[in-house]
Amino acid sequence: MNDVRDVQRLFCSRALAAAVVIALIFLLAGAKPIARGLVLGTLFSVLNFVLIAHSLPMQINKGQRKTFFTCIGGIGCRYLLLSIPLFIAAMMENFDFFATAAGIFMVQGVLIVHHIGKLLWDRQ
């Protein structure tokens, strides 16, 4: 379980750091709603990633039917969770909708960049 927490900590901290750096750039450029939206989406992306890792042990050593419904329920809950920042961004002018959507994919983006970097580094 420590390995899962280490991976969570690594990718979540990198995603938050990237979001903060990018948000600071947008703040300096005077685009506050974009900066806020990016950070809001990233926070929910991190929460989603943590929930995925937390739900994985619940799916082990259970029957096929129970595992199926647990997975479907978990996916539904995570979709509802990820709709919250989009709803907030759509209703409030303080948050840019598209930046919020981009922030939702921040953890996945960090994972992809990490994997590509590892492939390129190992190739040399």
Mean pLDDT of 54-61: 71
Q: Which pLDDT band, with edges at 50, 70 and 90, does 66 fall under?
A: confident
pLDDT at 17: 95
Global pTM value: 0.85
Per-residue 3-state assignment (H helix, E strand, C coil) for the chain: CHHHHHHHHHHHHHHHHHHHHHHHHHHHCCCHHHHHHHHHHHHHHHHHHHHHHHHHHHHCCCCHHHHHHHHHHHHHHHHHHHHHHHHHHHHCCCCCHHHHHHHHCHHHHHHHHHHHHHHHHHHC
- Is the pLDDT assigned to residue 72 strictly greater than 70? yes
Range of the domain at 13: 2-123
pLDDT at 62: 73
Mean pLDDT of 89-106: 96
Domains in the chain, number:
1
- Is the pLDDT assigned to residue 58 strictly greater than 70? no
